[in-house]
Amino acid sequence: MAKEEDYEIVSHRDVRKLKTELKALKEGKGADIIGLRDHLEELTERIDAMIDIFESAAAELREEDKEAEIIAKKIDPIFARLDSVDEQNKKIAHGLVAINEIVEEKLTQITDTAQVLARAQEEFRAKLNLLSDKIDGISSGAEPTIGMPLAGPPGPATGAPLPPPPGPPVGAPPGRSEIPRLKPRKKKHFLF
């Protein structure tokens, strides 16, 4: 039995065309084989140049990766220190806020106390001025003008003689025999 070969029906015209092309190739006519060979060599050179570029880029990337690892090893302790400093700053900030709240609370207490003391001082001044006016009224011989009469020193009504008027205080300048009036002090404002 003969081997069956695959075949295909081709037109005579296609066969003739193929024969002429084959003959032209054998003779070096018709097709520019030399130009094709030059183009292939140029293409090969360009591909080789591209491969060289990719190889150098890969080498540089490997070097950069090594440098990045070295830098990361050097920077990691710095980041750890910065994290520690950040935690310390947070603690300090919380402490400062707490101190500020305490100071505001104490300042409010001091302000309230100062207001109470100022009111008490004003009341004391008013009472002292009233008392000074009463003393002035008694020393001038006039009756006190406020409220009930004071229980005065012994006098003609009680039958006892009056004591002599008070003299100037010891060490006082001559000519001043009256009781000095108290002058109100200026208010001083203090933080603490």
Instruction: Please state, rounded to an integer, the average pLDDT across all residues of the chain.
Output: 77
What integer is the mean pLDDT of 115-128? 91
CA distances from 112 to 38, 106, 109, 154, 178 (A): 103, 10, 5, 46, 39
pLDDT for the residue numbered 1: 45
HSE of 187, CA atoms in CB hemisphere, 13 A: 10
Least confident of 112-121, 126-135, 144-153: 144-153
Say how many residues make up the chain.
192
**Nearest partner of 123 among 184, 79, 39, 68, judged by Cα:** 184
Here the tokens at position 134 are: 């009463």
- Secondary structure (H, E, C), the chain: CCCCCCCCCCCHHHHHHHHHHHHHHHHCCCCCHHHHHHHHHHHHHHHHHHHHHHHHHHHHHHHHHHHHHHHHHHHHHHHHHHHHHHHHHHHHHHHHHHHHHHHHHHHHHHHHHHHHHHHHHHHHHHHHHHHHHHHHHHHHCCCCCCCCCCCCCCCCCCCCCCCCCCCCCCCCCCCCCCCCCCCCCCCCCCCC
pLDDT for the residue numbered 190: 58
- Answer whether residue 12 shows pLDDT above 80: yes
Q: What is the pLDDT of residues 133-167, one digit of tens each?
A: 888 877 766 554 554 444 554 445 555 566 666 66
- Answer whether residue 26 shows pLDDT above 90: no
pLDDT for the residue numbered 99: 93
- Answer whether residue 4 shows pLDDT above 90: no
What integer is the mean pLDDT of 44-54? 93
What integer is the mean pLDDT of 111-136? 89
Least confident of 72-86, 110-124, 154-168: 154-168
Q: What is the pLDDT of residues 102-113, one digit of tens each?
A: 999 999 999 999
- Answer whether residue 41 shows pLDDT above 50: yes
- Answer whether residue 183 shows pLDDT above 80: no
pLDDT for the residue numbered 92: 94
Are 135 and 180 spatial neighbours (Cβ–Cβ below 8 Å)?
Answer: no
